[in-house]
Structure 1
Amino acid sequence: MAYREEFDQGAKVGAGSAGEGHPASMVQPEQRSDDTAPARKKARSKKPLLLAVVAAALGFGAYEGYGWWTDGRFMVSTEDAYVQADITILSAKVSGYVQSVAVTNNQSVKAGDLIAKIDDGDYRLALRSAQDKLSTQQSAIARIGRQIEAGRASVAQAQAQIAAAQADAERAESDYARQQQLARSDFTSRAALENAKAARDRAVANVQSAQAALSAARANVDVLAAQQTEAQRVAAELQTAVERAERDLSFTEIRAPVDGVIGNKAMEVGTFVQPGARLAALVPLASVRVDANFKETQLASLKVGQKVHIEVDAFPDAEVVGTVESVSPASGAVFSLLPPENATGNFTKIVQRVPVRVSVDPAVVRQGILRPGLSVVVDVDTRVSAESEKTASLRK
């Protein structure tokens, strides 16, 4: 009981002190006024910062808008662009074992430099055999030529024999005529007349024989001339075989057709290669270009000769300038392995891309920094075409 009484008295004392002392309700207004003052100062201090941010945003927007109005609206861009080059694939034209390799990957070579050499032993023997056959045939042609000369001499001899036989025939004819006159006057015997007649007939036969010999000699010359022509044609075939053997021998040395850099080498000493086997790739860095794939909706403002700004991902600080060289005759999808077939029941229109070739500034090409396959960003300045169209309209 005593504990409860003490508790009740303590509770009353506490209630009295709360009402008579410094009540909480009287202190709170002063504290609130002290808290709102810093908040107002803080809000006032933020206004210049907000104004500065708004002014900066407006200035940036005006700058970007001015840039778009003066330059941006004339630029046609694409990121679907890559550096390209006409890469030459070096292949073998004859079979054999690789005897030596004169280059390594990433090595620069000049046109005509030796790349590799195939064992040429068999090809040298084939060339020597063809040359020997040709020499033999040429000897046969020379022999036939000598025979033709001999045949022509026989023709001349036969012609001379004809002349002699004709002279004998004329003499025999005269003798026979005299014997006939004498026989009419009985101043000669019948035997003499018959001998004169036989001599005349023999002389006529000798003329015919000489004429036949002349014909045979001429025919023999014609036969020899035909044989010589045939032998010359065979010699021409053998000459072709020699030239082919020489070409096959030359193909054992694989040389660079153009200036470039060796890459993707796929041969070593001792490798057996077949005709058409890929040995290495030759990249002509002096003829690199950019192939940019623009959307079909961007083609209307693209013209040949427009200036192009090229940003190379590998060299972001490099200033590369190019020129629109040509536009592909069809979209890339048409030249694909499996071109799309749109004549179906279900169709979804997809924006196509058309390759545009861009030539690069020769000064940049000579530096050799552009490598086929590098990604670039292409910006075409279409103001050239716009100015030309405006000039053309003014002329009209």
Structure 2
Amino acid sequence: MIAAAGVAGVAVLALGVAWWMGKQRYEATDNAFVQADNVSVAPLVEGYVAEVLVDDNESVTAGQVLARIDPATISARLAAAEANAAALDAAVNQVDDRARLAQAVIAERSAAVASARAQARFAASELDRYGALATSGYVSSQRAQNARMAAEKADADVAQAAAALEAERRTAASLGSTRVRSVAEAQAARAAVEQARIDFARTEVKAPAAGVVGARGVRPGQYVRPGAVMMTVVPLGEAFVVANFKETQVARLRIGQPVEIKADAFGGRPIKGHVMSFSPATGAEFALIPVENAVGNFTKIAQRLPVKIAVDRSQPLAAALRPGLSVEVKVDVRENTGPSFAEAAQAPARYAGGAVRP
């Protein structure tokens, strides 16, 4: 019995020493989950789904067509927009033709004014000559009156020609504003054509990133609207781990420290990673209903701070991690070369995303 008790005491002591040494070397938690930057795929135009080209859990590449929306309505809209743009371009050309015609008419009116003024000068000289002859009695007074009437008519013709010239100039000037309006309308029509072409291209719903299709909820014949999620693309090769450490643990954590990740899905086989960054707030602050501690029966509870852990891509199991898996992480805190939580919190811009900036 004494020997058994001694062996038990030694075992307990050895376990205690091992536990203590492990606590000095590592900070661990099982409150950790695999996450990824999942991308929700939604259409940008509305219509009936003509065909779905991918299946559940199928790997896709960036830009691959996932589904097609019936383009008949948008095609008709594009044709109408192109016809309207052509009509408005023709309207601009028509205004230009009218402007060129107006310039020709102005030249004609200017020539008419010059001719009328020449006639007026001739009539004035005739009036002076016949007036002098009538005073001397060499011609009749009737002939002098005819010369005066011809001079007055010539002056009226000059005024009429000048007024016609001014009217044509004003008409030509008004065509400038008409052309500006027509050009603006034509530009708006061309913009409508471009928008219709963009909408036509958007009838092909493409993968925004490479990954695996999940949560596929769209079927052929279904009517979809912009913003309605059709499926999700999960970039499996870019998964990371978010570990929720207690606030009593983060003081020893530093960016860049090596991390050992174990997932039950892989039989506990270790995966290597490193501490990448610290969350700007505890997990409770991002809850739908944040905890309100301003009450009289407050009890201090250690909060948990999410820590982002990057998975080393060279690991064989790195691409096999699936978002949502629960994992256990163990951080080797002996390495203390990187910035600590306090340093990263004081200069968040410098250590954002795990990169150290000057």
Q: What is the TM-score normalised by the length of structure 1?
A: 0.77
Match of 2:78 among 127, 150, 158: 127
- Asked whether 1:214 is paired with 2:165, we answer yes
What residue is the counterpart of 1:376 in the other structure?
A: 327
Matched with 1:287 is 238
Q: Does 1:245 align with 2:199?
A: no
Distance 2:199 2:280 in 1: 40
**Is 2:263 aligned against 1:309?**
no
Unpaired segments ≥5 residues, structure 2: 341-358
Q: CA 1:356–1:62 in 2, change beyond 3 Å: closer, same or farther?
A: closer
Residue 172 (structure 1) aligned to one of 119, 123, 140: 123
**AA aligned opposite 2:148:** K
Alpha-carbon distance in structure 2 between the residues aligned to 1:218 and 1:83 = 77
Of 240, 249, 263, the residue aligned with 1:298 is 249
1:110 aligns with 2:64: no
User: Residue 159 of structure 2: SS of its match in structure 1?
Assistant: helix
In structure 1, what is the Cα distance between the partners aligned to 2:17 and 2:250?
A: 28
Shift of 1:173: 2.2
Counterpart AA for 2:214: G
CA distance in 2, matches of 1:388, 1:95: 50
Aligned to 1:75: 26
Take 2:268 and 2:93, find their aligned partners in 1: how far apart are those partners? 76
Contact kept, 8 Å, 2:263 with 2:328, in 1: the verdict is: yes
Q: Give the helix-richer structure, 1 or 2.
A: 1
Contact 2:60 2:211 (C-alpha < 8 Å) held by counterparts = yes
Whether the aligned pair in 2 keeps the contact of 1:286 and 1:366 (CA below 8 Å) is no
State yes or no: 1:204 paired with 2:155. yes
Q: CA deviation at 1:88?
A: 1.0
- C-alpha distance in structure 2 between counterparts of 1:157 and 1:387, whole Å: 88
Give the aligned partner of residue 232 of structure 1: 183
Between the aligned partners of 2:257 and 2:209, the Cα distance in structure 1 is 30
SS of residue in 1 equivalent to 2:32 = strand
Match of 1:89 among 40, 46, 53: 40
- Contact 1:294/1:356 (8 A) holds in 2: yes
Deviations 1:5-38 (A, max 9, x none): xxxxxxxxxxxxxxxxxxxxxxxxxxxxxxxxxx
Q: Across the two proteins, how many residue pairs are aligned to each other?
A: 340
Counterpart residue number, 1:25: none
What per-residue deviation string (whole Å, max 9, x for no partner) do you get for residues 105-158 of structure 1? 111101110111122222211211221222222222222221221111111111
Q: What percent identity do the matched residue pairs reach?
A: 37
Cα pair 1:95 1:273 within 8 Å, conserved: yes
The equivalences for 1:1-396 within 5 A come to: 53=7, 57=11, 60=14, 64=18, 68=21, 72-316=23-267, 318-364=269-315, 368-385=319-336
> Does the C-alpha gap of structure 1 residues 365 and 200 become closer, same or farther in structure 2, counting only changes over 3 Å?
farther
Q: 1:59 to 1:337 in 2, by over 3 A?
A: closer
**Structure 1 stretches of at least 4 aligned residues deviating more than 4 Å after TM superposition:** 53-56, 58-63, 316-319, 386-389
Distance in 1 separating the partners of 2:208 and 2:237 = 14
RMSD in angstroms over aligned alpha carbons? Answer: 2.8
Give a deviation string over 1:192-223, Cα, whole Å, max 9, x none.
32222222222222221111111111122233
Unaligned runs of 5+ in 1: 1-42, 390-396
- Give the conservation status (yes or no) of the 8 Å contact 1:159–1:214: yes
Q: CA deviation at 1:175?
A: 2.4
Show CA shifts across 1:51-71 (max 9, x none).
8x4797499559837x92xx7
Q: Shift of residue 372 of structure 1?
A: 0.6
Residues of 1 paired with 2:338 and 2:216: CA distance?
50
Q: Is the 8 A contact 2:271 2:318 kept in 1?
A: no
* Distance in 2 of aligned mates of 1:317 and 1:346: 42
Does the CA-based 8 Å contact 1:303-1:324 persist in structure 2?
Answer: yes
Per-residue deviation at 1:254? 0.9
Change (3 A) 1:340 1:283: same
The Cα offsets for residues 200-256 of structure 1, whole Å up to 9 and x where unpaired, read as 222222221111111111122233333332222222232232223223222221110
Q: CA deviation at 1:297?
A: 1.4
State how far apart, in whole Å, the 2-side matches of 1:316 and 1:365 are: 14
